Amino acid sequence: MITGIKGTRRIRRATAVAVTSGAMLATGALTAAPAQAVTAPSIVAKGGYVMNNSSGSSLYTKAADTKRSTGSTTKIMTAKVVLAQSNLNLDSKVTIAKEYSDYVVRNNASQAHLIVGDKVTVRQLLYGLMLPSGCDAAYALADKYGTGSTRAQRVANFIGKMNTAAKNLGLKNTHFDSFDGIGNGSNYSTPRDLTKIASSAMKSSTFRTIVKTKSYSAKTITKTGSTRTMAPWTNTNGLLSSYSGTIGVKTGSGPEAKYCLVFAATRNGKTVIGTVLASTSIPQRESDAKKLLTYGFARLG
């Protein structure tokens, strides 16, 4: 069942009519004319949520608080945690470990095709995380910014930071057990919670710059010290090329998650941000998101 909140606006008109004949003044009473009601759209995705980014007020809900697998939209929180690190140096270099590469092969996961032994900056890893949805980049970041004497400890610590960040945002229906969305049965969120995570992440200018970028070419340092120009990373968010005003945010997919999209767009100085979870295909999640964005802007007027 789709729950839509229909917006109605009242236009009040004051009309003053001066009748010169006989020097009489007729003043029209205040009249109320209902504006065209905006009809809430029907979407295929099982869950959806849209809000006014500036006020946080809800504009649309469909199973907005139902917990679902989030796929790679999880990486929004991965990036948020990295960008929240104290004394963050985006130019700090990370050496790509064989385990990061083995991990994506083992899981048949989306990847940035990072080369073992290359030195890659944190900034580049964030682009590799958010554009091609690189699970290898996610692993590298979790390994760098987690605390512990072993890789497993560092990764577990980083995931703990993701959960702490969710708690700090007051989110009750979100839990992470992975740094990239390849969960172990306990990686979930809701359309409302994911939208709030994305809205919080968008406060970072670095995050905003990354998620609105359509393509990015990283120059990494090889084992021998030479420069490697990586094949360009293309943003998986098709809305950037097909919906005017789109400024982000992140796609996600998986056997359980189906097709997900966290989206944001700005028009006439107003930003609408939202999420669709468990749509049926890439074109369908984009169609769902476009409907919700257009509806959101109509609600805002």
Active-site residue set: 72, 75, 133
Helix (H) or strand (E) holding 259: strand 258-267
Closest CA relative to residue 76, chosen from 172, 175, 169, 207: 207
Please count the other Cβ atoms lying within 10 Å of the Cβ belonging to residue 244: 9
DSSP class of 120: E
Alpha-carbon separation of residue 186 from 70, 189, 300 (angstroms): 11, 10, 36
Q: Cβ contacts of residue 196 below 8 Å, gap of 6+?
A: 56, 169, 171
Q: Cβ contacts of residue 81 below 8 Å, gap of 6+?
A: 145, 158, 161, 162, 165
Helix (H) or strand (E) holding 278: strand 270-279
Helix (H) or strand (E) holding 76: helix 75-83
**Bond into 81 cis (ω within 30):** no
Q: Cβ contacts of residue 292 below 8 Å, gap of 6+?
A: 41, 43, 48, 50, 60, 263, 272, 274, 276
Please count the other Cβ atoms lying within 10 Å of the Cβ belonging to residue 40: 20
